[in-house]
Chain A
Amino acid sequence: MTGATYASVLGLAASVVLLAAVATLWRRSLHAIVRALAAQGVALAGVAAVLGLHHHDPGLLVVALLVLGAKAVVIPLLLTRVVHVDPTSRETQPLVNVPASLVAAGALTFLAFAASRAVTALVPTTAGRLIPIGLAAMLVGFFALVTRRKAVSQIVGVLLVDNGVALVAFLATAGVPLLVELGASLDVLLAVIVLQVLAIQLRSRLGSFDLDQLTELHD
Chain B
Amino acid sequence: MLVLVLVVPVACAVVCGIAPWRRALGWLGTASASAVLVLGVALAASVVHGPAVTGMAGILRADALSAFMVVVIGVIAVLATWQGVRYLDGEIAAGRCTPRHASLYAVLVQAFLATMLLAVLAANLGVLWVAVEATTIVTTFLVGHRRTRTSLEASWKYIVICSVGIALAFLGTVLVYLAALHVGGQGPNPLDWTALVRESHQLDPGVMRLAFALLVLGYGTKVGLAPMHSWLPDAHSQAPAPVSALMSGVLLTVAFYAILRFKVIADGALGPPFARTMLVIVGLLSLLVAASLLLTQRDYKRMLAYHSVEHMGLIALGAAAGTPLAIAAVLLHVLGHGLAKGVLFLASGEVLLTEGTSEIERVPALLQRRPLLGGIFGFGLIALLGFPPFSLFVSELNMLRAEFQVGLGWAAAVSLVCMAVIFAAVMSHGRHLLLGRDQGDRRLPTVALVAVPLIGGLVGCAFIGISAWPLQPLLHAAAGIVAP
Chain A, residues 124-146, CB within 8 Å of chain B (1/0): the string is: 00000000000000100010010
Question: Could you say which residues of chain A place their CB within 8 Å of the CB of B191?
Answer: 176-177, 180
Q: Within 8 Å of chain B (Cβ to Cβ): is A162?
A: yes
Interchain Cβ contacts within 8 Å, total number: 132
Q: Please, how many angstroms separate the alpha-carbon atoms of A168 and B170 in the complex?
A: 10
Measured CB to CB, the residues of A under 8 A from B are: 115, 118-119, 121-123, 138, 142, 145, 151, 154, 158, 161-162, 165, 168-169, 172-173, 176-177, 179-180, 183-184, 186-187, 190-191, 194-195, 198, 201-202, 205-206, 211, 214, 216-217, 219
Chain B, residues 115-152, CB within 8 Å of chain A (1/0): the string is: 00000000010110110011011001100100101101
Is the beta-carbon distance between A190 and B171 smaller than 8 angstroms? no
Q: Please, how many angstroms separate the alpha-carbon atoms of A206 and B136 in the complex?
A: 24
Is the beta-carbon distance between A217 and B150 smaller than 8 angstroms? yes
A-B contact sample (17 more), CB < 8 A, given A122-B182, A202-B152: A118-B209, A119-B175, A122-B206, A151-B156, A161-B167, A165-B167, A165-B170, A165-B171, A168-B171, A169-B171, A173-B177, A180-B124, A183-B126, A191-B136, A194-B137, A217-B153, A219-B302
Is the beta-carbon distance between B164 and A145 smaller than 8 angstroms? yes
Q: Please, how many angstroms separate the alpha-carbon atoms of A161 and B124 in the complex?
A: 23
Chain B, residues 158-193, CB within 8 Å of chain A (1/0): the string is: 011001100110110111011101100000011100
Expressed in whole angstroms, the minimum distance between the Cβ of B151 and any Cβ of chain A is 9
Is the beta-carbon distance between A158 and B164 smaller than 8 angstroms? yes
Supply 9 A–B pairs (Cβ within 8 Å), ascending by A.
A177-B190, A180-B129, A183-B127, A184-B129, A202-B152, A216-B150, A217-B154, A217-B237, A219-B233
Is the beta-carbon distance between A173 and B233 smaller than 8 angstroms? no
Is the beta-carbon distance between B296 and A219 smaller than 8 angstroms? yes
Q: Please, how many angstroms separate the alpha-carbon atoms of A202 and B129 in the complex?
A: 29
Q: Within 8 Å of chain A (Cβ to Cβ): is B157?
A: yes
Question: Could you say which residues of chain B place their CB within 8 Å of the CB of A165?
Answer: 167-168, 170-171, 174
- Which residue of chain A has its CB nearest to the CB of B177? A173
Q: Within 8 Å of chain A (Cβ to Cβ): is B234?
A: yes
Question: Could you say which residues of chain A place their CB within 8 Å of the CB of B468?
Answer: none
Expressed in whole angstroms, the minimum distance between the Cβ of A218 and any Cβ of chain B is 9
- Which residue of chain A has its CB nearest to the CB of B133? A187
Is the beta-carbon distance between A184 and B297 smaller than 8 angstroms? no
Q: Please, how many angstroms separate the alpha-carbon atoms of A126 and B137 in the complex?
A: 36
Is the beta-carbon distance between B171 and A216 smaller than 8 angstroms? no
Q: Please, how many angstroms separate the alpha-carbon atoms of A154 and B156 in the complex?
A: 10
Question: Could you say which residues of chain A place their CB within 8 Å of the CB of B129?
Answer: 180, 184
Q: Please, how many angstroms separate the alpha-carbon atoms of A219 and B152 in the complex?
A: 17
CB proximity to A under 8 Å, residues B273-301: 293, 296-297
Residue in A138, A168, A219 whose CB lies within 8 Å of B293: A219
Question: Could you say which residues of chain B place their CB within 8 Å of the CB of A219?
Answer: 233, 293, 296-297, 302
Q: Please, how many angstroms separate the alpha-carbon atoms of A194 and B237 in the complex?
A: 20
Question: Could you say which residues of chain B place their CB within 8 Å of the CB of A138?
Answer: 167, 171
Residue in B137, B209, B234 whose CB lies within 8 Å of A217: B234
Is the beta-carbon distance between B159 and A195 smaller than 8 angstroms? yes
Is the beta-carbon distance between B126 and A177 smaller than 8 angstroms? yes
Residue in B168, B174, B293 whose CB lies within 8 Å of A173: B174
Question: Could you say which residues of chain B place their CB within 8 Å of the CB of A162?
Answer: 163, 167
**Which 8 A/B pairs are nearest by Cβ-Cβ distance?**
A180-B126, A183-B130, A118-B206, A187-B133, A169-B174, A217-B234, A214-B153, A165-B171
CB proximity to A under 8 Å, residues B187-224: 189-191, 204, 206-207, 209-210
Residue in A123, A154, A211, A216 whose CB lies within 8 Å of B149: A216
Question: Could you say which residues of chain A place their CB within 8 Å of the CB of B234?
Answer: 217
Most buried by A among B154, B163, B296, B297: B163
